[in-house]
A and B are shown apart, each in its own frame.
Chain A
Amino acid sequence: AQSVTQLDSQVPVFEEAPVELRCNYSSSVSVYLFWYVQYPNQGLQLLLKYLSGSTLVKGINGFEAEFNKSQTSFHLRKPSVHISDTAEYFCAVSALSGAGSYQLTFGKGTKLSVIP
Chain B
Amino acid sequence: DAGVIQSPRHEVTEMGQEVTLRCKPISGHNSLFWYRQTMMRGLELLIYFNNNVPIDDSGMPEDRFSAKMPNASFSTLKIQPSEPRDSAVYFCASSPLVSATQYFGPGTRLTVL
Chain A residues close to B by CB (< 8 Å): 32, 34, 36, 41-46, 49, 51, 90, 94, 97, 99-104, 106-109
Contact = CB atoms under 8 A, between A and B. Distances in A.
Given A51-B100, A94-B100, A108-B42, A103 B105 contact: no
B48 A103 contact: yes
Contacts, number: 51
B104 A36 contact: yes
A103 B42 contact: no
Instruction: Classify the secondary structure of A's interface with B.
Output: strand
A81 B49 CA distance: 38
Interface string B71-101: 0000000000000000000010101011111
A104 B45 contact: yes
Instruction: Classify the secondary structure of B's interface with A.
Output: strand
B101 A34 contact: yes
Interface of B: 4, 31, 33, 42-43, 45, 48, 50, 55-56, 91, 93, 95, 97-107, 109
26 contacts: A42-B106, A42-B107, A43-B4, A43-B105, A43-B106, A43-B107, A44-B91, A45-B104, A46-B101, A94-B100, A97-B55, A99-B56, A100-B50, A100-B98, A101-B31, A101-B48, A102-B99, A102-B100, A102-B102, A103-B56, A104-B33, A104-B102, A106-B42, A106-B43, A109-B42, A109-B43
**Which of A44, A46, A97 has the largest number of chain B CB atoms within 10 A?**
A44
**Which of A42, A94, A101 has the largest number of chain B CB atoms within 10 A?**
A101
B106 to A, nearest CB: 4
Contacts of A108: 42
